[in-house]
Amino acid sequence: MELKKIEEVGDFTTVLLIAENLTEDVDFYTNLGFRLDNIFPDDDPAVAIMSGYDIQVRLDKRVGQGTALTALPNTEEVNFSPTQHKFEVRKLQDNEPWVIGRAGMLYRDLLPDRLGGSIIASHIRIPKGGPVPDMVHYHTIGFQLIFCYCGWVKLVYEDQGPPFILKAGDCVTQPPQIRHRVLEASDNLEVIEIGVPAEHMTTIDHDMELPTQEYLPNRDFQGQRFCHHALKDATWKPWKINGFEFRDTGIGVATAGMANVHVARSSDIDGDAQLISHDADILFTFVMNGEMELSAGEQKPLILHKGDAFVIPPQMKHQFSNWSKELELLEVSLPGNYSTTHH
């Protein structure tokens, strides 16, 4: 570690250190009696804020890599970025590297461009199950989805009752600044996590113990409610494309229309390729199972398989075709209500 800067803020001293290995450096300061207060970003931590002995230490590995020192996201207010629309496809077979993120979880970026910083989509996995080394924490964020793709994970949330198991096909929203903790995971757990905006701060809450004594399922968290959707309780209805049915997760209501999440699958009703477009600001889709052909704008048609992801910009004409009977899609839209035009 290299000392880079010391600042005096009132009676508080802040020390900036260049970190070569953030995990090892955090462990080093923890053993000295410091505590972790903030981590940024979740998917590939580069900055850790620690405190102790009336000193705040900022461990920053980006500065050592030649990046200029920049301000971190606010811990209280969310700064939204305007969407930079583009057509983007991320294929699992491209074998992009998984990186070690917060609490030792492995992250794969599903939207490297992040549409100008407006959204982050991550494929997260924990190969070996058991207790997760997580702490009670919260995110200063506008919208956040956790969708259990494979396996199961045990979670607990502020004012939402005792810990519960999120099973494959289930999902939760994490409203702004709701305290929560990941407790345990199955072997080969995989989740899809969506965050808006892409850059947001994670803060450790050292004082709150979970579960909390009160059960407040309708509590308002900055205009949103906690939402837990279970596959076993789902109702399936015809989707926007013939030949598909979908289940509504209820996230549109819980987020007051900020976002919504649908799971769509091939139905028994025969369908054919239909040219459509939409007026959503962001429309992200993850292929959960099966395969399909995607044609969009002037792009060359692509065959998509399980594990692939794509985003279609507003007003771009596109169509799904040649889909398998096993096809199942996870669709996230912002805002929650949008119109589909059939051409």
CATH number, domain containing residue 256: 2.60.120.10
pLDDT score of 94: 72
Strands 171-173 and 143-150: antiparallel
DSSP code, position 224: B
* C-alpha to C-alpha distance for 327 and 212, rounded to whole angstroms: 40
Structural domain includes residue 201: yes
Chain position carrying tokens 């947001």 = 200
The verdict on 113 and 202 lying in the same domain is yes
**Identity of residue 106:** L
Structural domain includes residue 200: yes
pLDDT score of 273: 80
pLDDT score of 67: 65
Structural domain includes residue 97: yes
* C-alpha to C-alpha distance for 190 and 252, rounded to whole angstroms: 24
As given in the structure block, the two tokens for residue 70 are 């920049």
pLDDT score of 68: 64
As given in the structure block, the two tokens for residue 161 are 């009752």
- Render each residue's pLDDT in the chain as its tens digit; 343 residues: 555 555 554 556 888 888 888 989 999 999 999 999 999 988 888 999 999 998 999 999 887 666 666 778 888 889 899 999 999 999 998 777 788 877 778 899 999 999 999 999 999 999 889 999 899 999 999 999 999 999 999 999 999 999 999 999 999 999 999 999 999 999 999 999 999 999 999 999 999 999 999 999 999 999 999 999 999 999 999 999 999 999 999 999 999 999 999 999 998 666 678 899 999 999 999 999 999 999 999 989 999 999 999 999 999 999 999 999 999 999 999 999 999 999 9
- From its phi and psi, is residue 28 left (phi > 0), alpha (psi between -120 and 50) or beta? alpha
CB proximity list for 297: less than 8 A, separation 6 or greater: 87, 316, 317, 318
Domain carrying residue 94: 88-229
Structural domain includes residue 315: yes
Cα dihedral 256, 329, 109, 138, rounded to 10, equals: 30
Q: How many domains does the chain have?
A: 3
